């Protein structure tokens, strides 16, 4: 019984360790993490963030955009996006909050 608990704890630790890599983008040797929020009632609309922006604006944008593509494919089956505030905006005009680039828009349904 004791070995079952130890095996379970090790498996849980491995799963928890690997999860963060799914949200990580490597750009020019630096690691960037992303996050995305959407409403349950409207999965097409989202706000994504990526950072740290202080290391590289481009890396932070790529981390946020990576989250968007994953989200849109998962919920709507397409990676097409209508950006409100997207990665194509000039760096000076980007929204940066808490050292993270913030992107927003809507997934386009196929």
Which phi-psi region, left, alpha or beta, contains residue 35 (left: φ > 0; alpha: ψ -120 to 50)?
beta
45: burial class by Cβ within 10 Å (0-12, 13-18, 19+)?
middle
Q: How does pLDDT run across 74-88, given as a tens digit for each residue?
A: 999 999 999 999 999
Query: What global pTM score does this model have?
Result: 0.78
Query: Closest Cα to residue 20, out of 10, 11, 36, 33?
Result: 33
What pLDDT was estimated at residue 110?
Answer: 82
- Tell how far CA 28 is from the center of its chain: 18
């Amino acid at each position: 019984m004791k070995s079952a608990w130890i095996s379970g704890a090790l498996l849980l630790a491995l799963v928890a360790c690997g999860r963060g890599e799914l949200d990580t983008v490597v750009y020019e040797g630096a690691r960037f993490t992303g996050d995305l929020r959407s409403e349950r009632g409207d999965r097409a609309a989202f706000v994504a963030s990526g950072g740290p922006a202080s290391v590289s604006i481009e890396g932070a944008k790529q981390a946020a955009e990576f989250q968007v593509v994953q989200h849109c494919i998962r919920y709507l089956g397409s990676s097409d996006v209508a950006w409100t505030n997207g990665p194509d905006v000039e760096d000076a005009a980007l929204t940066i909050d808490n050292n993270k680039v913030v992107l927003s828009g809507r997934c386009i349904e196929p």
